[in-house]
Amino acid sequence: MAVSNLTDVIAIAACRDQSFAVRSNGTVYAWGRGDEGRLGLGTNVSDRSSATLIPGLTNIVSVAAGTRHALALQNDGTLWAWGANSGGLLCADSEADILSSPVLALFLADTDFDDLPDYWERVYYGGVASVTGESDSDVDFMSARQEYAWGSCPTNADSNADGLFDYFAWDLGLDPLKVVTTNADADA
């Protein structure tokens, strides 16, 4: 079945309730279920049965669809994300649970050009440009760039003081930036 109003499609992505197409001019179209920002069309969007242009995305070469979110890759390597952002899933500079329009995904952005992703620098160092790729803050003879490449924690941080180093928390699929409360804590 052909999707009306779409020609020159170079990439497509779909997942359960939403679909996306990238045209040769670098624009992205979405259709399907509209809640939770999953179409990238803004707030209070109803379901779309026909392909609708996602505003603000240009020079896109590829798109990927998750269950409740999507990603679009620009020709310069910039990654855009939208949809459900629970637990910071989209690595955007936002704590909002829903990102209804495309935002820069910071886990790949490197605005200070030190070969370390900005998101990683924010998690472990509290900000971008507060460390260089050659820094060795935990004196383990591995540079920050090497720590990142190994998926290790350069500061052995325990951001939420739960007794679990952040890099272990990430490996377990937990968010080390959220404070964990147990029933014992509540009873105290």
Indicate the DSSP class of residue 88.
G
Q: Which residues pair with 22 in a beta bridge?
A: 11, 28
- Whether the pLDDT of residue 133 is over 80: the answer is no
Are 135 and 177 in a shared domain? yes
The C-alpha atoms of residue 114 and residue 178 are separated, in whole angstroms, by 27
What pLDDT, on the 0 to 100 scale, is given for residue 185? 46
Are 28 and 97 in a shared domain? yes
Residue 24 burial by Cβ neighbours in a 10 Å radius (0-12, 13-18, 19+): exposed
Q: How confident is the model at residue 31 (pLDDT cuts 50, 70, 90)?
A: very high
pTM of the model: 0.60
The C-alpha atoms of residue 19 and residue 14 are separated, in whole angstroms, by 4
Closest CA to 22 of 37, 32, 8, 40: 8
Are 119 and 75 in a shared domain? no
Let me know if residue 1 belongs to a domain. Answer: no
| Most confident residue range from 8-22, 69-83, 109-123, 157-171 | 8-22
Closest CA to 23 of 41, 38, 11, 35: 11
Q: Which residues pair with 60 in a beta bridge?
A: 74
Residue 132 phi, psi (nearest 5): -110, 165
Mean of the per-residue pLDDT values of the chain: 76
Specify the amino acid at residue 72: A
Tokens found for residue 158: 């325990």
Are 134 and 164 in a shared domain? yes
Are 54 and 122 in a shared domain? no
Are 92 and 13 in a shared domain? yes
Are 38 and 95 in a shared domain? yes
Are the CB atoms for 83 and 36 separated by under 8 Å?
yes
Q: Could you tell me the residue range of the domain that residue 170 belongs to?
A: 110-181
- Whether the pLDDT of residue 158 is over 70: the answer is no
Let me know if residue 33 belongs to a domain. Answer: yes
Q: Which residues contact 167 (CB under 8 A, 6 or more apart)?
A: 151, 152, 153, 156
Let me know if residue 3 belongs to a domain. Answer: no
- Whether the pLDDT of residue 152 is over 70: the answer is no
How many domains would you assign to the chain? Answer: 2
Are 13 and 98 in a shared domain? yes
What pLDDT, on the 0 to 100 scale, is given for residue 153? 53
Residue 88 phi, psi (nearest 5): 75, 20
The C-alpha atoms of residue 168 and residue 175 are separated, in whole angstroms, by 10
Are 24 and 83 in a shared domain? yes
